[in-house]
Amino acid sequence: MSSTIQRIGVFTSGGDAPGMNAAIRAVVRTGIFHKKEVFGITRGYEGMIEGDFVKLGARSVGNILQRGGTILKTARSDEFKTAEGRKQAYDQLRKEGIDALIAIGGDGTFTGLHKLYLEYQLPSLCIPGTIDNDIAGTDYTIGFDTATNTAVEAIDKIRDTALSHNRLFFIEVMGRNSGYIALYSGIAGGAGAIIIPESETSFDKVYELLTAGEITNKRSNLVVIAEGSKIGGANEIARKVAERTDYFDIKVTILGHLQRGGTPTYFDRVLASKLGVAAVEGLMNGKTDAMVGVRDNKIVYNLFDSVMNRPHEIDMDMLRIAKILSI
């Protein structure tokens, strides 16, 4: 593994996700293992523009593996979307001698990195870190597993209180335009119906399904709705059902940001560790302008053009499974 890279800059950007710290730790320690210097860039592209860099040692990333959030903080930077902002960022990186970058974030982060690469040819790789699991080219993003487990735990608790007759709960989970968290937490939580943006459905179809539940005389019914639902969010759907029937005692819970926090699961820690090592070693092997991911449990490097602006396909058979199991 021969490489001219000496100083790697690592940063987190966009929405935070549990497991980002494990990825930072992996990048720092792998860099040091291969005799590179690693600098943390705080607050994503904002810190890059301001030259907010801190040299990280193996010990400075101790005791963060199990912590949610990101020790480097994250931010959204409008300035970086401009050519002048990126020039300023590049000048700061040069001043510090940083000659390669590893970003941990979502598609916006990757887009910014790609632009910087096109303009300045700085070797750079992106690690997918977002709870939404909405990035093509990787089976899982860091944080998705933890967020889904958090949603399942919440659904289980709601079910405990829902066991009085005819109670109907609408639970809205995160995911932006992706239905991954809703689909997986819905199946794991035994939802009576799951509404995700990827499936073609209508309010009438959902209503039909719910009133069929009336016939089966379930003691309670839970509907999990992705925040990106095309037929409205939990509040709207609940309101429409209430307008048509007074059969149910309807409750709505929007899980919101609690899904972003918490201790990362073993799965996210292992994923973050693998991707962190692969990112550093990929850079050293000449990979650039790409996102490191896992496909069928193997590390892959996806060029920007091969994954951006493409949906992360969802296995629609999972919806069928959910339907069969909800009778």
Q: Which residues are catalytic?
A: 132
Helix (H), strand (E), coil (C) string for 190-211: CCCEEECCCCCCCHHHHHHHHH
Q: Does 92 bind ligand ATP (CB under 6 A)?
A: no
**Separation between Cα atoms, residue 264 and residue 68, nearest integer Å:** 6
Segment interacting with ligand ATP, rule: CB under 6 A, options 8-16, 243-251, 252-260, 311-319: 8-16
Q: Report, in Å, the least distance between residue 130 CB and ligand ATP.
A: 4
Q: Say if CB 88 and CB 56 are below 8 A apart.
A: no
**SS3 of residue 225 by DSSP:** strand
Comparing CB distances to ligand ATP, the nearer of 176 and 205 is 176
Tokens of 49: 């523009």
Q: Which of 23, 30, 36, 45 binds ligand ATP (CB under 6 A)?
A: 45
Q: Does 108 bind ligand ATP (CB under 6 A)?
A: yes
Residue whose CB is nearest to ligand ATP in the complex, by number: 108
Cβ neighbors of 274 (< 8 A, separation 6 or more) are 26, 294, 299
Q: Which of 105, 137, 179, 192 binds ligand ATP (CB under 6 A)?
A: 105
**SS3 of residue 13 by DSSP:** coil
Number of residues lying near ligand ATP (CB under 6 A): 18
Segment interacting with ligand ATP, rule: CB under 6 A, options 74-82, 218-226, 267-275, 315-323: 74-82
Q: Does 99 bind ligand ATP (CB under 6 A)?
A: no
Q: Say if CB 113 and CB 77 are below 8 A apart.
A: no
Q: Which of 81, 205, 230, 251 binds ligand ATP (CB under 6 A)?
A: 81
Q: Would you tell me how many other CB atoms lie within 10 Å of the CB of residue 326?
A: 21
Q: Does 227 bind ligand ATP (CB under 6 A)?
A: no
- Residues 234 to 273: which contact ligand ATP by CB under 6 A? none
Q: CA-CA distances (angstroms) from residue 22 to 13, 29, 76, 242, 274?
A: 15, 11, 21, 45, 10
Q: Does 69 bind ligand ATP (CB under 6 A)?
A: no
Q: Which amino acid is at 127?
A: I
Q: Which of 70, 92, 109, 273 binds ligand ATP (CB under 6 A)?
A: 109
Q: Report, in Å, the least distance between residue 147 CB and ligand ATP.
A: 11
Positive or negative, the CA dihedral 288, 56, 135, 310 is negative
256 exposed, middle or buried (CB, 10 Å; 0-12, 13-18, 19+)?
A: exposed
Which of 320, 317, 278 is CA-nearest to residue 295? Answer: 278
Q: Does 76 bind ligand ATP (CB under 6 A)?
A: yes
Q: Does 293 bind ligand ATP (CB under 6 A)?
A: no
Comparing CB distances to ligand ATP, the nearer of 17 and 38 is 17
Segment interacting with ligand ATP, rule: CB under 6 A, options 111-119, 186-194, 196-204, 215-223: 111-119
Q: Would you tell me how many other CB atoms lie within 10 Å of the CB of residue 319?
A: 21
Comparing CB distances to ligand ATP, the nearer of 122 and 210 is 122
> Contact positions toward ligand ATP, by CB under 6 A?
13-15, 45, 76-77, 80-81, 105-109, 111-112, 115, 130, 132
